[in-house]
Amino acid sequence: MKRVCAILLLSILCFISDKAAGQTIQHWETVVYDSMQWRYWPGTADPGANWQSPAFNDQGWQQGRGGIGYGDGDDRTIISPVLSVFLRKKFMITNRDKILEAILHMDYDDGFIAYLNGVEIARAFMPAGNVAFNQGSSGLHESLIYQGLPPEGFILKKEILNTLLVAGENTLAIQVHNDNLGSSDLSSSAFFSVGIIDNSTTYLPTPTWFIEPLDFTSSNLPIVIINTNGLSIPDDPKIMADMGIIDNGVGNRNQVTDAFNNYNGKIGIETRGESSQSFPKKSFAVETRNADGTNFNAALLGMPPENDWILYGPYSDKSLIRNVLAYTLGRDLGNYASRTRFVELMINGRYEGLYVLMEKIKRDKGRVDIASLKPLDISGDEVTGGYILRVDKLDGNDFPGWQATPVPQLIGERDLTFQYFDPPGEVLVNAQRSYIQNYMKDFQSSLTTLNYANATSGYRQYLDLPSTFNFMLVNEVSKNIDGFVFSTYLYKDKDSKGGKLHMGPLWDFNLAFGNVNYLANAQYAPGWMWDDQYRMFWFRRLVQDPFFANQLNCRWHELRSGFLTNSYFNTKIDSIAAVLQESQARNFQRWPVLGTYVWPNQFIGQTYAQEINFLKQWIAERLAWMDANMVGDCSLVTGAEETYGFEFFPNPFNQYIQLKAYNSLNTCILKIYNGVGKEVFTTRFAVEFQWAGTDLLGNQLPAGLYFLKLFDEQGNLQFKTNVVKQ
């Protein structure tokens, strides 16, 4: 592990030693502009062996001003549609000893590989290894300059430049590849800039969008440092890399030179996301691994041990907190939602900005706590759970989904496509796929019959109502434009463990809370998201049932008269923003999008404070509308109609956690277990109880993960969740 640490810190230590020796960059100049004359080779044939080499004879190549491509109106030299284009540019360096760093800025569509004097220096959205002229990119990427955004920068530190950049003539060679030959655009614009240690002027001024690289040395947040060992991070599959996490605890400063004290080891990493894949700030799927590539469960930053994680990079959400706010609300309502920790990220010595380390949705005791489903579980109670399903877009890598068309089918309603999420479809056996397909068909059919509202023969025999109320209310408070149609997760445990269909966990709220400029119903306070015709018909149908509507009304007013006040949101937002006050400034220096439209912003704040104020004002207006327009009438609910629910907050907690049950039962039995499953506390209570994190003798239990289970007097499990004591 010491060797890994040394490798990961190499570029940082070199940078610090340069500063200590008086070697600091005084200013930046640009040596190569995209608008200069370039040699280029349209990729209709192989460009020739060693075309990246300075010695390669490119006299037979065409010449033109960059960028070179077609479509989007951002090209100076327009070529016929091709799958690839190869570029070469020679440039002179006259003050080699004064150059400390360099940056290659690339504006490209869809992938590229760049070489300096024959050696690869940057790669993005391209498969590993040599890539032939007739091979497509590994993903889609949109060029940025024509949208008013700065291109992506790839830093070359001094230790790299020392081996590559020479005094005199140098050669920059770049290959740019389209995703497919039928694409409507291809872009290839390159800039090469150098950091100079004195005030001498040798080259050209930097572009107007140029921002000096950030000098990142410490943070009040945990620091994640990743080294890909020369590999670019693809969309798929994951590559092996090294990761270290520095977390010296709340109130303590974290230095990039500190020892890795939270994690120090191997990971698999790939980019992730749908529309967000086009953003220059990438999000990543991370898998903690052993040295041999097998999974390794790690307890990252106080979260329960697991091996699947996500590094989410907020970009279009300039408040930086919409996902974290939604997941926090979901947990406070009593359901599992991914735990999160804000971090600052460095990859290969380059500062990448503010990120959110979060749990990936999966079946696990510390996440979606349902029974495991083994290949031999093909009959009886064993085949009935546990399944996590998803309604979302399908891409080419997904296992085929299925449609559980209800009988009868409601007029005007479209079919929903369900995906096997965990276990994935390729792992499930035929009996299991058939079971869950039939269950979903029966459930949907129960919603479309004339007696769908019947307590025993209608939808209530299939659907868990408390989780559905909470799921709907969070999606409606936030007016999540993807709600009820994309990123919709649901799960089913075995029949012996309750067995009904639970809505959630919540997912993907970066375009919620007013951060969208299309579909008027998603932008402003009035209106219900479930009313949009192209969304899942379930929720429109459910609110037509007076029983359901009245129960939903009760749940809303109970929450609004309890903890879910306007102050709840303002306090949460202000407290998070205060913690991010330092890191957000660095993030927006790295990604200068404040005051700039990024798809699909409705509001464009000039400052971070304006983004936060817009979020708070938007939520206040939405809450007021929901208060005045909530469906149903709680006064019409009778005791016989009450449903069983449970809420707890805050989570994580420090001094105590408040527990509240709302049900028709006289007494609840609460049992609490530690992280290894040992019962540490039990009590009976009627409506509310406050647990101070102690055992039965009143001794304070250590910080960590605890599991809460709620039973009725007959010992039937009614609710279960997990909480974290800090």
- pLDDT digits 0-9 by tens, 108-138: 999 999 999 999 999 888 888 899 999 999 8
Residue 9 has pLDDT above 50, yes or no: no
- Write the secondary structure of 261-296 as one string of H (helix), E (strand) and C (coil): CCEEEEEEEEEECCHHHHCCCCEEEEEEECCCCCEC
Alpha-carbon dihedral 210, 212, 213, 217, rounded to 10 degrees: -150
Identify which of 481, 474, 471, 468 has the alpha carbon closest to the alpha carbon of residue 623.
474
Residue 709 has pLDDT above 90, yes or no: no
Number of other CB atoms surrounding residue 610 within 10 Å: 16
Residue 579 has pLDDT above 50, yes or no: yes
Q: What is the mean pLDDT of residues 50-68?
A: 96
DSSP category for residue 209: T
What kind and span of H or E run contains 583? Answer: helix 581-590
Tokens of 69: 């491509």
Contact 412, 540 (CB under 8 A): no
- pLDDT digits 0-9 by tens, 433-477: 999 999 999 999 999 999 999 999 999 999 999 999 999 999 999
pLDDT classification of 14: cutoffs 50, 70, 90: very low
Number of other CB atoms surrounding residue 558 within 10 Å: 16
The reply to whether omega before 110 is within 30° of 0 (cis) is yes
Contact 444, 493 (CB under 8 A): no
At residue 118, what are phi and psi to the nearest 5 degrees? 90, 0
**Hey, what CATH class is 26-196 in?**
mainly beta
Domain 644-725 has CATH 2.60.40.4070: yes
Identify which of 600, 602, 590, 610 has the alpha carbon closest to the alpha carbon of residue 147.
600
| Pairing verdict, β 657-662 and 645-649 | antiparallel
- pLDDT digits 0-9 by tens, 309-357: 999 999 999 999 999 999 999 999 989 999 999 999 999 888 999 999 9
**What was the pLDDT predicted at 721?**
78
DSSP assignment of 2-26: HHHHHHHHHHHHHHHHHHHTT----
Lowest mean pLDDT among 158-162, 198-202, 231-235, 653-657: 231-235
**What was the pLDDT predicted at 276?**
72
As a 3-state breakdown, the chain gives helix, strand, coil percent values, each rounded to 5, of: 25, 30, 45
Which position has the token pair 């230790």?
A: 159
Strands of 657-662's sheet in order across? 645-649, 657-662, 688-691
Q: How far is CA 487 from CA 427, 509, 610, in A?
A: 21, 9, 29
Task: Give the three-class secondary structure for 705.
Answer: strand
Tokens of 546: 């007076």
Q: Which amino acid is residue 204, in one-letter code? A: L
**What was the pLDDT predicted at 82?**
95
- pLDDT digits 0-9 by tens, 76-89: 999 999 999 999 99
- Delimit the CATH 2.60.40.4070 region(s) of the chain: 644-725
Q: What is the mean pLDDT of residues 147-152?
A: 84
Which one has a higher pLDDT value, 232 or 403?
403
Residues 468 and 488: their CA atoms lie apart, in Å, by 12
Task: Give the three-class secondary structure for 92.
Answer: strand
Tokens of 371: 């029974």
Most confident of the following: 149-153, 537-541, 634-638: 537-541
Residues 165 and 79: their CA atoms lie apart, in Å, by 31
**What was the pLDDT predicted at 642?**
54
Query: Residue 131 half-sphere exposure, CB side, CA atoms within 13 Å?
Result: 26
Contact 370, 385 (CB under 8 A): yes
pLDDT classification of 3: cutoffs 50, 70, 90: very low
Most confident of the following: 17-21, 142-146, 578-582: 578-582
Residue 16 has pLDDT above 80, yes or no: no
- Delimit the CATH 2.60.120.260 region(s) of the chain: 26-196
- Write the secondary structure of 664-689 as one string of H (helix), E (strand) and C (coil): CCCCEEEEEECCCCCEEEEEEECCEE
Residues 545 and 410: their CA atoms lie apart, in Å, by 15
Contact 593, 318 (CB under 8 A): yes
- pLDDT digits 0-9 by tens, 176-214: 999 988 888 999 999 999 999 999 999 999 999 998 888
Number of other CB atoms surrounding residue 13 within 10 Å: 13
User: What are the strands, taking DSSP E only, across 117-182?
Assistant: 119-124, 152-156, 168-177
**pTM of the predicted protein model:** 0.78
What kind and span of H or E run contains 658? Answer: strand 657-662
Mean pLDDT of the chain: 91
**What was the pLDDT predicted at 8?**
38
Query: Residue 449 half-sphere exposure, CB side, CA atoms within 13 Å?
Result: 15
Contact 555, 645 (CB under 8 A): yes
Contact 653, 663 (CB under 8 A): no
Residue 1 has pLDDT above 60, yes or no: no
What kind and span of H or E run contains 550? Answer: helix 546-561
Residues 172 and 190: their CA atoms lie apart, in Å, by 9
